Amino acid sequence: MHDEPRFGPAGAPQWFKELRAPTSDLPHLLQEEGLNALEYEAVRWGCTPQIKQGDAERLGKNARKSDVWLTIHGSYYVNLLSKNETLEASKRRLIACAVAAKWMNAHTIVFHTGYYTKKQSHKKDLQNCIEALKGILETMQSMNIQANLGPETAGKLAQLGSLGEILTICEEVDQTQPVIDWAHLHARQRGGLRDANDFQRIVESIENRLGTKTVRNLHCHFSHVEYTFRGERRHHSLNAHRYGPKFESLADVIINNNLHPVVISESPLLDVDAKKMRNIVYQKRRTSFIIR
């Protein structure tokens, strides 16, 4: 757990890619920027880890040395609502990310659950997803993998991943924690996060179902988002003021509820917006302290 909010990027910023430095150097450079979280992107992986064990171990060692909270985002090519070969391949892809998480000593394996099927109810899809995750967890435990599975709220209405569905998964499956993508919830609700009260209701719902410890240490994604009637269309930077949700509202809820989330920037300006969100929280906290 962590006793302060943490901020960082989803993957390597563009400037780091241009350095052509090893990924294991990234935690130190993020620390120099005043950031202390990193979500390693394994989003295009297949059924085996696509990082060498030594490289993963160096990344994890440097993250610990730099006090950077390390997580991993699993493959996009996962659909736990499917059957037969597709389901088995999805399980293998998540296990591959879990193996890398063990090498890195990453805390959470973030993933999308998949798309609703057309031949059965959403309730049945959810139950099938839960059963698949229990099987994956059993394999992880047999391999002594301690990282949490992190099912993420989904931005498209065709995807399983409403807030209620994610909380149900975390109630039913051990070694899980919810990953709250605020942009996805905003898009899924077609602009539903308008002010701090909307964020507060979600925080209270999580606490009521999963407890204070879970809500205080949330793993979150944030950016501005463009959406259609089908949900999420694309992520935007915090400079794109025509889009929401507004981070200032979430910052108020973080401060007022004494939350210590990990906030991962999924903006096109990865580290720039991570620093911007960090500064908003710290500035609001100082103002709140002075007023009190």
Give whole-number Cα distances, 162 to 12, 178, 204, in Å.
28, 11, 16
Hey, how many other C-beta atoms are within 10 angstroms of the C-beta on 79? 21
Per-residue pLDDT of 152-187, as tens digits, reads 999 999 999 999 999 999 999 999 999 999 999 999
CA distance linking residue 223 with residue 146, whole number of Å? 29
Q: Are 155 and 187 in contact (CB under 8 A)?
A: yes
Count, residues in the chain: 292
Q: What is residue 83's predicted lDDT score, i.e. its pLDDT?
A: 87
Q: What is residue 289's predicted lDDT score, i.e. its pLDDT?
A: 57
Write down the domain spans for the chain.
6-291
CA distance linking residue 22 with residue 11, whole number of Å? 13
Q: Which residue has the tokens 């047999």?
A: 142
Helix (H) or strand (E) holding 69: strand 69-73
Per-residue pLDDT of 270-291, as tens digits, reads 999 999 999 999 999 888 654 4
Tokens of residue 257, six digits: 């509820």
Q: Is the pLDDT at 35 greater than 90, yes or no?
A: yes
CA distance linking residue 221 with residue 198, whole number of Å? 16
What single-letter DSSP state applies at residue 261? -
Q: Structure pTM?
A: 0.96
CATH architecture for residues 6-291: Alpha-Beta Barrel (3.20)
